[in-house]
Homo-oligomer: A and B are copies of this chain.
Amino acid sequence: MPQAHYFLHHHPLDPPSRRVRLALAEKDLLCELILEKPWEPRDEYLKLNPSGEVPTLIIEPAEARSKTIALSNAGAICEYLEETISARSLLGDDPLERAEIRRLISWFEDKMYREVTSHLVEEKALKRLQGEGGPDSARIHTAYHNIHAHMSYIGWLTEHRNWLAGDDITLADLAAAAQLSIIDYLGDVPWDKHHEAKEWYARIKSRPSFRSLLGDHIAGLLPPRHYADLDF
């Protein structure tokens, strides 16, 4: 049977882009990655997504007569995949369960990003990639302080549940892992202080869906040696 083709406009330091890559891979959908710099969006990309943000998923259907689809925003993309691809549900099927998964996605993608990831990515990576001068150490220290509460929350959730939102792996796990995988690329996850969170991350890191993320290499910004190591 002919398959649709997937192209993902993304950036490796953008957590929602990573969440979509993981969701596609969990559903066994191969996608071709197209690198975008959201801080200087190309005109051609702005036609696809006027916000200039990543990710945007392009779906070229197998039937030549069907229209190519462009979907922007990780939340919209992941919900669309849940609604149209039956392989491996990542959102549960009970409304209450789904509400808990969506609450946790926002916890990690909005709250943890604002309190931790954004500071580290902007100060330690984007400023360098954009040639914008030295990092603001106050923001880095804020992130180092804030990360513990989020690691503890992951630990607390996994003490009460098999995965973050319940028995099965869901988009909530992918959203949390997307944040941590970027912070880990920057070498800033205090693994030795958070054993439960580390045990959970080791489980998700060893899944086939994670391989593409572990192969990421950003020019001018090498990850620490343990980044791609399943025994970290």
Binding site for B on A (CB under 8 A): 50-51, 53, 69, 71-73, 75-77, 79-80, 83-84, 95-96, 98-100, 102-103, 106-107, 110-111, 153
CB distance from A99 to the nearest CB of B (A): 4
The answer to whether B77 and A111 touch across the interface, beta carbons within 8 angstroms, is: no
Q: Are A80 and B106 in contact (CB under 8 A)?
A: no
Contact A76 B99 (CB under 8 A): yes
Shortest Cβ distance from A106 into B: residue = B73
Q: Is the Cβ of B71 less than 8 Å from the Cβ of A99?
A: yes
Contact at B96–A73, with CB atoms within 8 Å?
A: no
- Known contacts being A51-B111, A111-B51, is A76 close to B96, with CB within 8 Å? no
Q: Are A103 and B73 in contact (CB-based, < 8 A)?
A: yes
**CA–CA, A206 to B218, complex, Å?**
51
A168 to B72, CA, bound (A): 21
Bound Cα distance from A103 to B111, whole angstroms: 19
Q: Give 8 nearest A-B pairs by CB, closest first.
A: A76-B102, A83-B95, A80-B99, A73-B103, A76-B99, A76-B103, A73-B106, A71-B99
